[in-house]
Structure 1
Amino acid sequence: MQTTLSEAARQLPRAEEAESILRTCVHCGFCNATCPTYQLLGDELDGPRGRIYLIKQVLEGNPVTAKTQQHLDRCLSCRNCETTCPSGVDYHNLLDIGRAVVDSAVARPLGQRLLREGLRTVVPNPGVFKGLVGGGRVFRPWLPDTLRAKVPRHVPAAKPRPVSRHARQVLMLEGCVQPSLSPNTNAAAARVLDRLGISVTAVGEAGCCGAVDYHLDAQAAGLDRARRNIDAWWPSIENGAEAIVQTASGCGAFIKDYGHLLGHDPVYAEKAKAVSALAKDLVEVLREEPLQTLRVHSDQRLAFHCPCTLQHAQKLGGAVEAVLTKLGFELTEVPDSHLCCGSAGTYSITQPELARQLRDNRLNALESGRPDVIVTANIGCQSHLDGAGRTPVRHWIEWVEAALP
């Protein structure tokens, strides 16, 4: 795609990157065929090709409007288009660049600003979030439907974690919302890894991965969180930790991007690159281990929902299904397994109507094989899908741990 950046755009820190990405796009439109919002709305500007054109216009100096912002806001950042694109367009980085320019030029309405600032205050703060979830569970029967769907129906207690006793050590990101919404997930992961001869260390100083801030108009704050995490993990990395494990694929996708996002930081560039190389989704660790030693047994039928951050961002589509099958679980067929459930970080809160439609469509596909339970690999997808009050949704590692002898 031919493009000529304006003088103002050429001063942006990522101007060269944006121009390179724009020139990669051949405007073929294959991306629209797999874009969830284009499928729902049928509007060219609510598909990747249209959004790329909007960003091109902005970077060439054309007026920026609230309408431009709305079309970019409606993007799920699911990266399905990147999987589909025959030209390898790095869409999500272009979107981040475009959103930053648009958000600096267009003031959001007060309600939107308060919502986004509220999410940035609450979600990355586990203590505050836990208090809100606890209060929500008490008053759940009296909450409006939209809020009731965000409060978990059932929160299994976390099982005890094994003590650190193996030579092999990995770090684990605890996460922001997962300790409150699904506290047994990381405990189950630690127990399964312990059976395989791997001990887990949780570094308390490591907090939110930074994705929430980064995708809610506060990219600098998101990168500051990334730097703090790098500092928190670095002593353990120097002491030989072999991986930084995430049980939430959304966090994993962002941590794997630290090296790129901090690539021009003179202090953190090399450390960020090392951290990204060590970041592994839980399935990447398990699939390399002798799983037969776990002697798992279960008669239940599972439907696996593969999060976008696992299959499109981390390119691990099919990995969890392969591990579950190898362990002996019966998996149902899931039509259109490439599509997004509508969670997409905070998208289900900022774009509730679109998110609800996507959720219901995904549940219809997941339930078509009549599973006993739906399992997934990301807390956002898990809570969003389970909020419909239909088939129970859990993290897949909890089902593996529950089936251990």
Structure 2
Amino acid sequence: MKTIVIAGSSVAGLSAARELRQGGFGGRLLTVDRDPHVPYRRPEVSKGLLSGALPAGKVAMGWADELRAERISGGLEGLDLERRTIRGIHADGRPFAEQYDGLVIATGTMARPSPFAKLGGVHSLRTWADSHNMRGDLAEAQRVVIVGGGFIGLEVASVARKLGKEVTVIEPMEAPLVHILGQTFSAALQAKHENEGVRFVLGQTVRELEGHASGSIRRVHLSNGDSLDADVVLVAIGSVPAVDWLLDSSLDVERGLVCDTTCSVAGTEDVVAAGDIALWHNPLYERLMRVEHWTNAVEQGTYAAKRLLGTHDAGGFVSAPYFWSEQYGSRIQSIGSNLGHDQAVVLDDDPERLFVAYLKEGRLLSVAGMAAGASIFQFRNLVLERAPIHDVTAHFASLRQPAS
């Protein structure tokens, strides 16, 4: 290969670039990204960047000189698989077309489009620019309403409460993150937020947003007829894969970019995908998965590069995804995927250091902990082995034994 193009240069693309160079690729390496601020640590968008605790320079990930990578700042418009060409528009409006011998698609996700009226003080939160814009409004606000009680919404609730704001979270489910973490963990998380002064409105959706004559947010109207006054609204209703530029390519992009076990994009040659956009067959769980977590993006970007170079593990990219969330100084962590679990075993029910194992047919799918610290990583091999419950409980008990 003489030219490899990396579409998307956040952490998955950056990891692919590093592996390509470390793996001996000496040709032209070209990256393309619409975000002028990348690469940076995206998890800080709803944490340190939003709170102001971390300036932009502290979350940047500089391109190492040894990568010798060219960069186009601009949006992608299309992919021609037959001619092996990507098309797009430079940030200054000039069109471009670049041919490739190998292609890494790592364009990630975008915030799900808001169904509400566009008003001042209403935000989504996915990028550095989103965080910067919301931080300015948050500084002047008193009443903050968050639409969606997922991880982004709860992290922002934590930041806003630390800034002394009145915070209300609107969540259509019966509890925040209950569909992901289960009843016990969800209840503990909700209690933590309520103890910090957050109000939850559960089982309700937003009917509409009302603005002042000036065009800024005034009030949030709920499906049950109630209304909430608001100075700032965060619409945190999830994300969608950034596949708009691939719609005319004939690729399967309905739920993400479909790949095989080796991250090779279905129906292509020398095209791989990594990170939030990749819908690949994970051998560990024997199903298609799309994972929006930092660690997975790092590992998958590395593997995808190896796939292009032919140095990959032929058994496929096996992932027990790890993620973390910081709320009120307490770290919430998870290893693995609990989708389809039929049992949740609470190994430690102390609300300040909750630890739960999720199983299917008696075999471990994932673990999640609150204030579990580094001990959660002791369970990664058990997740990879799909260990039986008695091995999980025995291992947990051994970790609790005092040192002799």
Is the TM-score greater than 0.5? no
Question: Relative to total residues, which structure has the larger helix share, 1 or 2?
Answer: 1
Question: Relative to total residues, which structure has the larger strand share, 1 or 2?
Answer: 2
- TM-score, normalised to structure 1, is 0.25
- TM-score, normalised to structure 2, is 0.25
